[in-house]
Structure 1
Amino acid sequence: MGTIEAVCFDLDGTLCVRDQSDEEVYEAVFDRVEAPAFFDLADIYAVDYSSLPEANSDREHHEHIYRAIARNVGADPSYAPRLAEATLEVLDPTAVSFRDGANEVLEYVRETYAVGLITAGSEETQLPKLETLGIQDAFDVTVCCGPGTGIESKPNPEPFEIALDELGSSPARSIYVGNQHDRDVVGPQRVGMQTAWVPEEDVSSNPKPEPTFHLSWMHEITDIL
């Protein structure tokens, strides 16, 4: 695909994966708060993040999530602030590893293309991950978006527009690589970017809009460029 000038990546779940499992994180959170475990992982995954109130910090964002869960399951929302604080204490932003094939793909892309990172999360949360992986200098532009950043979160067009402007690349000549359809396909396609969707698990359905490329493994990125 000779028309591509810039390749932009998502971070969490795309370039890296957490070493802490969701199960151990939330078990530790409830232990710290000494609250009844009033939800399970399915309740977390069921939250409609697009309906959450705007947050000004990571802590506030987590609090909104816990309040939404409490409403959904009929639990006491007063635990939300303490759960949010405990979550920030338990989550270790340096406890990350490369997703299989991601480091090799990033090295390959850097040889030929302008490279951007568009990631949901504050600099305090996301930049330590880059340092742990040793890729803090791998990107021509890094855009952190969402709560506390002053930039709308994906799938809002704003972070993609900022990255493309700084890279000096047109949307049609740029491709975004990510693992979440609702953020990493819907968002970049709103601004006219091509998309490579690389979900972490097998997907039985074909959600709309369809990505430009639906891949199973990160190393397949080199086959489409």
Structure 2
Amino acid sequence: MARFDAVVFDLDDTLCTQTQSGSEIYYGAFREAGIDSFGTPADLWGALVGSPDPVDDVGYLAAGFTTVAAQYGQTPIDAEALADGFLSVVDHSAVTFLPDAKHVLKTVSESFSIGLLTNGPYRRQAQKIAALNIESAFEAIVYAGDLPRQKPNREPFDRVLDTLGSTPSRTMYVGNSLRHDVAGAQGVGMTAVWYTPTGADPAPYEPEYIIESLAELLSVVSR
């Protein structure tokens, strides 16, 4: 008998990646806000602390723009206008499958129940799912950004397990984040598969499986 009944996937940087360039979004934010640009996209990415706040996108981005403005002597600055501009420029439907993702989803769904658990809210993530045309592939989709707590807290994991009707010990979770995906899945007793195309070292985390390509997942689920 197969060891697993269900496989749950993360979305961003596990199944898909954004095709819109960081430069287009960054400089577009200044254009939309009517502010002369300064700094670089890398400055903003470095200034953003932690993971995106699924509840307060504007506050999260404004804090980053405030930091960049200080670094370039551009204070005071309307950081909220830049954050609003950033969000208006982003096209959440501009995504594409990562290598082997589409094939792996189809193959895994032939033998297992599959679910999707993403930390983003519905308003953002549903656009990506629609663009990829994969909604029908999943028996359960949980948008943790719309819940009181996101990954790695156990609430979203419990939610997807309940919807799938699967137990933690019979469910595998596949994701690219050690903190959110691996730690969160293991925290509820699921088997964690860490997807790392760069072959990075997971220490101090200890995922049960490490794959450098999604195609490797097919051999993992068959064990």
- C-alpha change, 1:215 and 1:70, in structure 2 (3 Å) is farther
Query: So what's the TM-score if we normalise by structure 1?
Result: 0.86
Confirm or deny: 8 A CA contact 2:44 2:64 kept in the other structure.
no
**Kept in 1: contact 2:173–2:192 (CA 8 A):** yes
Alignment of structure 1 residues 28-177 onto 2, 5 Å: 28-33=28-33, 34-38=35-39, 40-41=41-42, 43-45=44-46, 47-49=48-50, 56-67=55-66, 76=75, 78-146=77-145, 149-177=146-174
| TM-fit CA distance, 1:27 | 2.4
User: Aligned-pair distance for 1:144?
Assistant: 0.7
1:150 deviation in Å? 2.9
- Report what 1:22 is aligned to: 22
Q: How far is the alpha carbon of 1:104 from its aligned partner? A: 0.5
Compared with structure 1, are the counterparts of its residues 80 and 154 closer, same or farther at alpha carbon in structure 2 (3 Å cutoff)? Answer: farther
- Whether the 8 Å CA contact 1:151–1:159 is kept in 2: the answer is no
Larger C-alpha radius of gyration, 1 or 2?
A: 2
Preserved CA contact (<8 Å) 1:63 1:80: yes
Structure 2 Cα separation of the partners of residues 73 and 210 of structure 1: 40
Counterpart for residue 208 of structure 1? 204
Q: State the distance in 1 between where 2:109 and 2:76 align.
A: 46
The 2-side partners of 1:61 and 1:105 are apart by: 34
Q: Where do 5+ consecutive residues of structure 2 fail to align?
A: none
Letter of the 2:87 counterpart: L
TM-score (norm 2): 0.86
In the aligned structure 1, how far is the partner of 2:209 from the partner of 2:220? 8
Within 2, Cα distance between the matches of 1:181 and 1:75? 36
Aligned-CA RMSD value: 2.6
Shift of 1:36: 4.0
For the structure 1 residues 171 and 82, does the alpha-carbon distance in structure 2 shift closer, same or farther, using more than 3 Å as the test?
same
Distance 1:79 1:116, change over 3 A: same
